[in-house]
Structure 1
């Protein structure tokens, strides 16, 4: 029998308003020893710290064998600043001035690795970087790995930063820049129940790919979405929330779902923020959270909050 997994905690760090500066105090959030980490790593470490501080969550982690704990993180622009710093220092012939503690983060995969090292998450460490859908896909892959027996406890999330002006590829991406991080804790329903805690709810994620050249063919988009929604057991009782980039695929998905698309962010954080909103608000209605990209990726999460007790 497939084990049942639930979301047991969620927390985030984010600016109080779009475009706010100076909103994050890494020393106050994390203490000493984190100053040279990329802001995206600081954000995610702080979100994880907040999640683990919730009642019973930290204790559940410590009770879990290290090899049964895991992490899956999505990001698009987490290390854009590091890349810009390396480029500028190298071109100017000042590579010797680059920070030896920051330069290793040229690889965005190290954001997840840092979380794994910080909390001894040795089951697996996964990073996903698909534009816009990376956070959803990280949660999807993490849940799939849990159900296959790879681990019993999962930390999933996403983190983004506003890319520097010098990063032309990043700043020309449509959508408002994202800044902040979000962390979700996934545990077995039985473990949560046996500890006397209450789960926030359940999330199922599925993804499909529609080749961009076929995005204008309504029948093919509808067929792909039918497969996606059937895999989620999506019913008429659930509301839908769609973020899109204005691409032909986004417009086609909007037409099929029959809901207007909200403007998406220039990163992978916003869909997970939408999931967190459903899990933490006083509602019992399931909701479908969908994200699309011009490149052809469609990811959907069916979020089912727990019934209040």
Structure 2
């Protein structure tokens, strides 16, 4: 069934472990740089943490935002605001009726720094010292609320929460807002700021983090036989989604089209993916059907690929199942090898990578794969970028989250 309205991407914004904006992040990714680095604090020693590194944000918010503004926001909202402002400027800062503008900016965990700092204040100094802005800062809808206030967006301000699929699901919901006629433009994406000793310790306790303290830059190793878990990251990715006719009317530059959406649930386990990958398969199939295309058009996949022992191969088998014989023509990239895992921000940042891959016809590399898992049959782009074909092409971005959330987005050239 044809889409009611075509939705294109006219603006991109990000702040990540690789750079403080989209151009620096993209260039670092093409160069195969790692954003993982030792933590410059004593957390590991003080708390007995088994992990002493992370993919920390490259440009600190205080270098970008004024201090009075920062004091009103949790870091998760700070990152979102930085990315949203870049995306809006990149889209040409369109003048429009706020009733036709929406926001969907998600976080998988929310204002964890604010929550834990407030608890420490309560314990150490008493209730009277807890900041009155604590609740607006810790609530998971804070980033989307602040973005909506910034740009006067009144068509809706939403914050979908689906763990590590949150950023991608936010973009999917933004597309649906435009398709349904609720909005002409939506600022959408994901953000996360969880590099704090408690979340790091909790993820380490679940045995999902890499323990390569002696080699942070080489720790995220999707599809490598020696992979031992993901590297926690932080940052935000935001895109400006726009009805194609609205973009054309103002002669906007268009990066690509979000042509297909696929959203499913495993209904299997709170943290483990369903072993056969059936939910992932259904999400990708639904996205291709929604896009009105087939596996023959797919030339690139940006995989969720977190670098966990079990998860990477479940996804690889799912991609192979969906694409069948056409899988041989696909360039597979696992960009978390460079950025680390931005949790609720990951799907949004990886959508940006997918959009740029289609726009520039260049698949970013996967680093740190020195001994590929023999079960991986897909063509992994290793160490250096790969040129993508000319003509009409499609790419899939996969995002999966704790709780069994599966999101697949199909991006096509404009």
Tell me if both proteins adopt one fold, taking TM over 0.5 as the criterion: yes
- Give 1:178 shift: 2.0
Matched residue SS, 1:202: strand
Secondary structure of 1:132 counterpart: helix
Pair 1:225–1:196, CA change in 2 (3 A): closer
Residue 96 of structure 1: how far off its partner (Å): 2.6
Number of positions where the alignment pairs a residue of Structure 1 with one of Structure 2:
302
Matched position secondary structure for 1:198: coil
Structure-2 separation of matches of 1:138 and 1:108: 13
Does residue 193 of structure 1 match 2:193?
Answer: no
Q: Is the 2:287–2:409 Cα contact (8 Å) retained in structure 1?
A: no
Residue 141 of structure 1 and its aligned partner are, at CA, apart by 1.2
Contact 1:76–1:132 (CA<8 Å) still a contact in 2?
yes
Structure 2 counterpart of 1:237: 297
Counterparts of 2:75 and 2:277 in 1: how far apart (Å)? 42
Mapped pair 1:29 → 2:61: no
Please tell me whether residue 13 in structure 1 is matched to residue 49 in structure 2: no
Q: Could you tell me which of 239, 251, 269 is aligned with 2:345?
A: 269
Q: Determine if contact 2:14/2:238 at 8 Å carries over to the other structure.
A: yes
For residues 27-50 of structure 1, the C-alpha deviation after alignment (integer angstroms, 9 at most, x for no partner) is 542335312121121111111111
The DSSP-based 3-state class of the residue aligned with 1:112 is: helix
Match of 1:289 in 2: 397
Question: Which secondary structure state, in structure 1, belongs to the residue aligned with residue 252 of structure 2?
Answer: coil
Q: Secondary structure at the match of 1:295?
A: coil
Of 92, 95, 118, 1:57 maps to 92
**Corresponding position: 1:2 with 2:38:** no
1:165-186 per-residue CA deviation (whole Å, 9 max, x = no partner) reads 1345456563322211111001
Partner of 2:160: 128
What RMSD over aligned residues (CA atoms) do the two structures have, in Å? 2.9
The answer on 1:76 being equivalent to 2:105 is no
Deviates further, 148-157 or 24-33:
24-33
1:256 aligns with 2:364: no
Indicate conservation of the 8 Å contact 1:250/1:294, yes or no: no
Unpaired runs of 5+ residues, structure 1, are none
- With normalisation by structure 2, the TM-score equals 0.65
Gaps of 5+ in 2: 19-34, 38-54, 209-229, 321-326, 362-389
Match of 2:275? 216
Partner SS, residue 64 of structure 2 = helix
User: What corresponds to 1:43 in structure 2?
Assistant: 79
Tell me whether 1:98 sits opposite 2:98 in the alignment.
no
How high is the TM-score relative to the length of structure 1? Answer: 0.85
Q: Secondary structure at the match of 2:157?
A: strand
